[in-house]
Amino acid sequence: MKKRGILNGELSKLVAEMGHMDMILIGDAGMPVPKGVKLIDLALVEGIPGFIEVLKAVLEDLKVEEAYIDVELKSVSPHMKEKLDSVINGEFKVTEIEHEKLKELSKDCKAAIRTGEFTPYSNIILKSGVVF
């Protein structure tokens, strides 16, 4: 049995297979997943697992060099934007883009992770970095 880190087999495998500049989406329960993008559906019920919980777990295992979030997050769900900023804590560049552009960019993601989050615009695309 794995001792620490991500226990979900699909998610653990995804993180292990990420290469430099590969992208993954972590999305709220309503974020559409484009055809052809692998879906890892973690949603159980409303709020479980939460967006921040899933993001924290992924960031423990994945080296990120850049991210994209919905520009609408700060006005529609400012409390979630504050939590997100706290988790990222300046570790990598975060670019705010319109929700429609985020959906378009998600077509280039290796996979999409669906959470049980019901807070509007709780979505992030993470671009993988390298550890050397």
| Catalytic-residue membership of 20 | yes
Q: Provide DSSP, the chain.
A: ---SS---HHHHHHHHH--TT-EEEEE-TT----TTSEEEE---BTTBS-HHHHHHHHHHH--EEEEEEETTHHHH-HHHHHHHHHHHTTSSEEEEE-HHHHHHHGGG-SEEEE----STT--EEEEE----
Looking at 13, 20, 101, 107, which residue is catalytic?
A: 20
Q: So which residues are the catalytic ones?
A: 20
